[in-house]
Chains A and B, each alone.
Chain A
């Protein structure tokens, strides 16, 4: 088709195409940015969830005190009384990025607050990520596939879920860094989301070597990367010497050695005659085998001698999915670390799941270094996403690239066949495509196939259909090399197929927008629910945290389960005992033990930790399912793992976790039960728990060692104060108790009045 044009025309067309694709990319960036703003529009410009609050706090510190103070920051407001060396235990990529952004904006006299910068960091970087996807896919399969993949990535639900405005977390920037690193690597330098990269690239190099695709370009791309990458990684304090000491990284070193050997072999092969080379090979092999055995033996001995075989727990749970639940309850207790369910694949990558196999095939049709890398990427990421929900995010870009390739390849085929037949159609003035005698049979064949394929597209699921789709894409692309004439599909069929593909894309867009708007935009500190009388907003968390910051002393310690640690330090600015950085299992187990002990023992534990206030999250009144009672079994498990007098069976009746009248006495007397359900019966007279859908077991009881100081509007957060020791200053204790009871009684009236469910 280009041949018929004049050379001037083609140049003009290329220029036009470049301008067009530039604008398309610009629009994709805008799309990626704006689809993530639903959370700001529907809620407000707040930071979401748990970890982002910590990142926000770190960024605040960074912008206020500068980078040197940041590296040396010892935070005494968490993990009381231990504290935490933040500068040495945090991956600094995200905070440094946002800090730089803030600094640039302010030096341009654009006065944005740190919070605003943090909220919008994720959308900005997702726009960058889609551009990086364009570059990467362009290297693999050309600009068309690149643009399609970029559009897909801009709105893949899995990535949206991690990068809506406000979810200020490492993933937001890491995905951009990941894709961009891959792009640079393929293009022939590194930072960011890093163990995966540092293992995937060596695997690709190894694959290239094994399949005989070694070239000196590969050496130039890889060898400096290892040295520089290792050095740069060990400059980051969290990684430190881990970069050379843990066996996650041994893979890359091994490949580093192998590539040197291969390079040497190729070099010698180049300068020697074939016969001499054979002699050299036999000679080197006999010596090399002995050396290799010795080296491997030393390595194995080194790895085996280190505890946990040199692998860190999180990575081990990647390779062996059952590892975490067996050995580390604290990793298993995080819902993000569970294996995903099938619906979540459909939810998160939607139609892409069906396009991926087609994309793989399209990658194989002419297999280049770049496309083999992408294939390797998708295969490993599919495996990892099957192990942990959280790693679905790594799968998302790979799936987007693959489906982009598949879509653009099939569009290419269909449009080309339409173009080919358009003159013929004009000439015949009859819209009959399969009439030319030479192609009749093939065309008929194709008709049958496309018809099947249409059906496949209509009812998407089931393996069979996917296979057909695969075949379908494979056929044209294979034929593209052999005979261009055979590429031609019947006119109607290709029109219909294009329409169906557009329909498929439309479904994807609709689903993604829905996911962005409804499913993934909730900031989880502000909750909403629809009921028959309209929209309810539950802003209890911020209510409780602001109560804490206004009504308690600056140095008071607040104990809660670790989920709420980051939020308490960031929003209430109070010292916490444990937080979401679960670095000290014993400390968390201590809090877990306190929560599962009876009141007096718990009071003693908390008093020994200098705790003034205890915060529990309770969803029984409004039906908020992820509250502390539902997490309680994990507290028991983690506590029992360190303090054996806490036994899980004591809290279960016949292996069932229940809080109704059948519950065990240990359960009914533990601190968590009491703090959650204290005075609960006064709300509706029956004490019906809306989450567990049952009446609670023990309704009327008094607290002896704790007093209620604050309960939020919907009872979602309840704050208790530890009573002072009674026997020493008896008179004062009594007075304070009577005062407390009067305050609680007024509060009680208030909460009942404002209760939305009555």
Chain B
């Protein structure tokens, strides 16, 4: 039983990797960015758990800015993905402009909230 699951897992990871290898490079870069920002958010949460959440707005704005950028990057990724049929008619330039604009708004708010 254990062996079959581990074998399955191996097969799964293998196929995941092979499937992922076909994604275009620019999407991979975006993925890296998403992973990086989620990782930053995680570091902050761990720091908060260890040290305490005293300047709560700083913590909140830090974490939310990370999550916000991650979410926006995911949205960008969905929109520029060529395989996604829902956004065929949407040019990637437009998606990128949206991304930049949303990030501007987000970080304006974050700066304001940082206190």
Residues of A within 8 A of B (CB): 215-217, 219-220, 223-224, 227-228, 230-232, 234-235, 241, 244, 263, 268, 270-273, 276, 279-280, 283
Chain A residue nearest to B106 (CB atoms) is: A228
CA distance A270 to B57 in the complex (A): 39
CA distance A235 to B64 in the complex (A): 13
Chain A residue nearest to B5 (CB atoms) is: A283
Q: Is A227's CB under 8 angstroms from B64's CB?
A: yes
CA distance A276 to B105 in the complex (A): 41
Q: Is A244's CB under 8 angstroms from B5's CB?
A: no
Given contacts A227-B64, A228-B109, A235-B112, contact A216 B8 (CB under 8 A): no
CA distance A241 to B64 in the complex (A): 13
Given contacts A271-B19, A276-B11, contact A227 B71 (CB under 8 A): yes
Chain B residue nearest to A240 (CB atoms) is: B57
Q: For the complex, is B110 an interface residue (Cβ under 8 Å from A)?
A: yes
Chain B residue nearest to A232 (CB atoms) is: B109
Q: Is B19's CB under 8 angstroms from A272's CB?
A: yes
The interface residues of chain A lying within 8 Å CB-to-CB of B109 are: 228, 231-232, 235
Q: Is B83's CB under 8 angstroms from A244's CB?
A: no
Chain B residue nearest to A222 (CB atoms) is: B71
User: Can you list 26 A-B contacts (CB < 8 A)?
Assistant: A215-B86, A216-B87, A220-B79, A223-B74, A224-B71, A227-B64, A227-B67, A227-B106, A231-B68, A231-B109, A232-B109, A234-B57, A234-B60, A263-B74, A270-B83, A271-B19, A271-B20, A276-B15, A276-B16, A279-B11, A279-B12, A280-B12, A280-B16, A283-B8, A283-B9, A283-B12
User: How distant is B95 from chain A, measured CB to nearest CB, in Å?
Assistant: 10
The interface residues of chain B lying within 8 Å CB-to-CB of A241 are: 56-57, 60
Q: Is A228's CB under 8 angstroms from B86's CB?
A: no
Q: Is A216's CB under 8 angstroms from B84's CB?
A: yes
Q: Is B105's CB under 8 angstroms from A228's CB?
A: yes
The interface residues of chain B lying within 8 Å CB-to-CB of A231 are: 61, 64, 68, 106, 109-110, 113
The interface residues of chain A lying within 8 Å CB-to-CB of B60 are: 234, 241, 244
CA distance A270 to B56 in the complex (A): 39
CA distance A220 to B75 in the complex (A): 6
CA distance A309 to B30 in the complex (A): 40
The interface residues of chain A lying within 8 Å CB-to-CB of B78 are: 216, 219-220
User: How distant is A317 from chain B, measured CB to nearest CB, in Å?
Assistant: 28
Q: For the complex, is B102 an interface residue (Cβ under 8 Å from A)?
A: yes
Interface size on B, residues (CB 8 A): 33
Chain B residue nearest to A276 (CB atoms) is: B15
Interface of chain B residues 26 through 47 with chain A (CB within 8 A): none
User: How distant is A604 from chain B, measured CB to nearest CB, in Å?
Assistant: 43
CA distance A270 to B84 in the complex (A): 10
Q: Is A216's CB under 8 angstroms from B64's CB?
A: no
The interface residues of chain A lying within 8 Å CB-to-CB of B112 are: 235
Given contacts A227-B106, A231-B109, A279-B8, contact A217 B71 (CB under 8 A): no
Chain B residue nearest to A228 (CB atoms) is: B106
Summarize B's interface: helix, strand, loop or mixed: helix
CA distance A625 to B112 in the complex (A): 49
Chain B residue nearest to A286 (CB atoms) is: B5
CA distance A234 to B105 in the complex (A): 15
CA distance A662 to B75 in the complex (A): 73
Selected contact of A224 from candidates B61, B102, B110, CB within 8 Å: B102
Chain A residue nearest to B109 (CB atoms) is: A231
The interface residues of chain A lying within 8 Å CB-to-CB of B57 are: 234, 241
CA distance A241 to B19 in the complex (A): 43
The interface residues of chain A lying within 8 Å CB-to-CB of B15 are: 272-273, 276
Q: Which of B60, B71, B87 has the most CB of A within 10 A?
A: B71
CA distance A216 to B86 in the complex (A): 8
The interface residues of chain B lying within 8 Å CB-to-CB of A232 are: 109
Q: Is B11's CB under 8 angstroms from A228's CB?
A: no
Q: Is A235's CB under 8 angstroms from B11's CB?
A: no
- B56-99 interface mask toward A, CB cutoff 8 Å, 1 = contact, 0 = none? 11001100100110011011001100011011000000000000
Q: Across chains A and B, which 9 residue pairs bring their CB atoms closest together, nearest first?
A: A271-B19, A227-B68, A223-B71, A216-B78, A220-B75, A231-B109, A279-B8, A276-B15, A280-B12
User: How distant is A80 from chain B, measured CB to nearest CB, in Å?
Assistant: 31
User: How distant is A283 from chain B, measured CB to nearest CB, in Å?
Assistant: 6
User: How distant is B20 from chain A, measured CB to nearest CB, in Å?
Assistant: 7
CA distance A235 to B111 in the complex (A): 11
Q: Is A224's CB under 8 angstroms from B113's CB?
A: no
The interface residues of chain A lying within 8 Å CB-to-CB of B64 are: 227, 230-231
The interface residues of chain A lying within 8 Å CB-to-CB of B105 are: 228
The interface residues of chain A lying within 8 Å CB-to-CB of B113 are: 231, 234-235
User: How distant is B73 from chain A, measured CB to nearest CB, in Å?
Assistant: 11
Selected contact of B74 from candidates A219, A230, A268, A283, CB within 8 Å: A219
CA distance A228 to B57 in the complex (A): 15
CA distance A270 to B15 in the complex (A): 12
User: How distant is A571 from chain B, measured CB to nearest CB, in Å?
Assistant: 36
Selected contact of B68 from candidates A224, A234, A270, A273, CB within 8 Å: A224
User: How distant is B114 from chain A, measured CB to nearest CB, in Å?
Assistant: 11
The interface residues of chain B lying within 8 Å CB-to-CB of A234 are: 57, 60, 113
CA distance A268 to B19 in the complex (A): 9
CA distance A273 to B14 in the complex (A): 12
Given A223-B75, A273-B15, 5 further pairs, Cβ under 8 A: A224-B71, A224-B102, A227-B67, A241-B57, A272-B19
User: How distant is B34 from chain A, measured CB to nearest CB, in Å?
Assistant: 11
Interface of chain B residues 46 through 60 with chain A (CB within 8 A): 56-57, 60
The interface residues of chain A lying within 8 Å CB-to-CB of B20 are: 271
User: How distant is A220 from chain B, measured CB to nearest CB, in Å?
Assistant: 5
